[in-house]
Amino acid sequence: MASIASGRSEKFRIGRVFSNTFSVIGRSFGPLAAIVGLFSAAPTLIYNFWNLTQLARMREAAGASAFDRPDMARLAAVSVVAGLVFLLLGLLAQAALVRLAVEDLNGRRPAVGDCIQIALRRFFPMLGIGFIVFLALIVAGIVIGVVASIFAFGGAFVGALIGIAVAAIPAAMWFISISVSIPVAVQERLGVFGSISRSRALTKGSRWPIFGLLLVIGIAAGLLQAAFSLLFRFALATASGLSGSGIIVGAVGGSLLSSIFSAVISLAIAVTYVELRQVKEGASVDELAEIFS
């Protein structure tokens, strides 16, 4: 089959990225499900099941009183460790899905083992990028808080919102500018700072459309997650607590939702990278795939 995305485009188009993203999902659902299941769904399911089980045990032990502080501290510590593990697994999943997307768009059937091998090969550059993003998030949060307090004018809510906007928009644009750093690190085999610099060059001129693309996916994910949380809490209130079936439903439902949307976002970023290479450089998917041969 001929490469679907070959040929040069004149402008980055959100609609084309959406179309290619869901086309990849439809054609390569089996390998996609295997990768997402290994790196996202299974670990998240295990953690969610453990977390809900611990909450049920603590609620039963505490009764009407507050949870014990040692139990809460242990739960918080495990959550922090789990968050770091999920971050590492998420980087591997995104790298594997870059390979999957390029292979699929090139008319080939992606091999799960090949995608995982590519991800493991580029793990340390991706880890460095993840670390920089993590530090940037902390700095951005501090800066946004400080600027919001300066604009608050003695507690004015509107002023605080203006301050948040003034600080958050440049921060968001910076994060959008490095959004294809992982695909660059995987595809072009650059180092940490080389990948970030290359991502900024590729996204220049297309950052607002990319922002719109990720915003739509993020809003959809947030709405579905909120709907599930409300239904789950309603079910718990009706059942007067965390039952065995409630724990299973909560663990499975939460895992599936988070895994589905993380996979969609990862694939959308991979397809965005391919689109940007075509728009700015006229590179075909065939040429991109040759790098891995």
Tell me the three state secondary structure of residue 1.
coil
Q: Is 222 exposed, middle or buried (0-12, 13-18, 19+ CB in 10 A)?
A: exposed
149: closest CA among 138, 159, 136? 159
| Length of the chain (residues) | 293
pLDDT tens for the 293 residues of the chain, in order: 444 444 444 688 889 999 999 999 999 999 999 999 999 889 988 888 888 787 777 776 665 455 667 777 787 888 888 888 888 998 999 999 999 998 998 888 899 999 999 999 999 999 999 999 989 989 988 888 888 787 776 566 677 777 788 888 888 999 999 999 999 999 899 999 999 999 999 999 999 999 999 999 889 888 887 777 777 666 555 554 556 666 677 777 778 888 888 899 999 999 999 999 988 887 666 666 555 44
Token pair for residue 34? 């295997």
Q: What is the DSSP string of 36-49?
A: HIIIIIHHHHHHHH
pTM, two decimals, is 0.81
> How far apart are the C-alpha atoms of 64 and 84, rounded to whole Å?
33
Assess contact for 74 and 247: CB atoms under 8 A: no
Assess contact for 255 and 41: CB atoms under 8 A: yes
- Look at residue 180 in the predicted model and tell me its pLDDT: 94
- Look at residue 6 in the predicted model and tell me its pLDDT: 46
For tokens 């292979």, the residue is 103
- Look at residue 289 in the predicted model and tell me its pLDDT: 58
Question: Could you tell me which residues come within 8 angstroms of residue 134 by beta carbon, excluding any fewer than 6 positions away?
Answer: 87
Residue-range domain boundaries for the chain: 14-290
For tokens 């998917």, the residue is 285
